[in-house]
Amino acid sequence: VPRWGAVLLVVGLPLAVGCASWLNAAYPAVRHYDLTIKTTDAIPPAYKNTPLTLGVLADMHLGRIVTAPRLVRAMDMLAPYKPDAVLYLGDMLDDHILLDVEAVAAALTRVQPRLGHWAVLGNHEYISGPIKNSLDILQRSGMQVLRDQWHVLDDVLVLAGRDDRSKPAFTGSPRKSLPEILADLPPEYKKLPLAVLDHQPYFLDEARTAGAVLEISGHTHYGQLWPFHWVVENMYENPHGLLSKKGMYSLVSAGTGAWGPPMRNTARPEVLVVKIHFVEAAE
């Protein structure tokens, strides 16, 4: 009996952990964040008592293993919150093989944000194939890609979408700095709060120096599988969740999909609902 008990422990425990990790990866959780942001500009009447609601997805890794039905599940979880805009934080693609672009586009239509679907690139958009192909897939799916570019959301928030830090390794050219990205921002928008979308949360101090009040990132997966969460905790100032420091929020998603084996046991996959409440600040 002790011998059979040992066999069951050696075989059964990893099997149970593996099954639980697979189920955990398949069913995202909705995470809610309420952030208060000060602005020196006049708050538009629509936002004086109503927050700007952002839906956030990251790190789906769509391809041969994580397929469009996983994205449908995530979008259906987000839809009831009626976000004003949906943000995609990179690594939405894992490879271009067997990727059903029409099914991905159909999944996006399950949420109809009045301010659009906005994406930035991650390292896997480069790894998965020619970057022009990744851009084409994202755009055909209905995402507007900010590649070292800015966009003003409803005259209330500036989005600065950064190209991924891996760009130089794949293209031989550097990504733009935040001051370079914002150099042509019209004067009437310079007082608006700045939110930076950057796939990898390496450069929080750079965002703070540029005046950002919020940076939203993904990439870390919070390790995805034990014990790698200890690794990312030592690599990043904010490996997961919300950090408020020196006047800036850093928000890092654990990701909505999975990379490699579709298994997770360090954190649930996430769909974020971020409500930004604007308050007027003195000059």
- Which CATH number covers residue 98? 3.60.21.10
CA distances from 230 to 41, 47, 266 (A): 41, 40, 10
pLDDT at 9: 65
**Which of 99-103, 211-215, 263-267 has the lowest average pLDDT?**
263-267
pLDDT tens digits, 235-254: 899 999 999 998 999 999 99
Q: What is the rounded distance in angstroms from the CA atom of residue 226 to the CA atom of residue 221?
A: 11
Q: What mean pLDDT is predicted for residues 93-107?
A: 92
pLDDT tens digits, 155-207: 999 999 999 999 999 999 999 999 999 999 999 999 999 999 999 999 899 99
pLDDT tens digits, 128-165: 889 999 999 999 999 999 999 999 999 999 999 999 99
Cα 107 → chain centroid: 17
Q: How many domains does one find in the chain?
A: 1
Which has the higher per-residue pLDDT, 104 or 96?
Answer: 104
pLDDT at 283 over 50: no
pLDDT tens digits, 12-61: 656 665 566 556 677 789 999 999 999 888 889 899 999 999 999 999 99
| pTM score | 0.92
pLDDT at 79 over 90: yes
Which has the higher per-residue pLDDT, 191 or 3?
Answer: 191
- Tell me the residue range of the domain where 212 lies: 2-280
What is the chain's mean pLDDT, rounded?
90
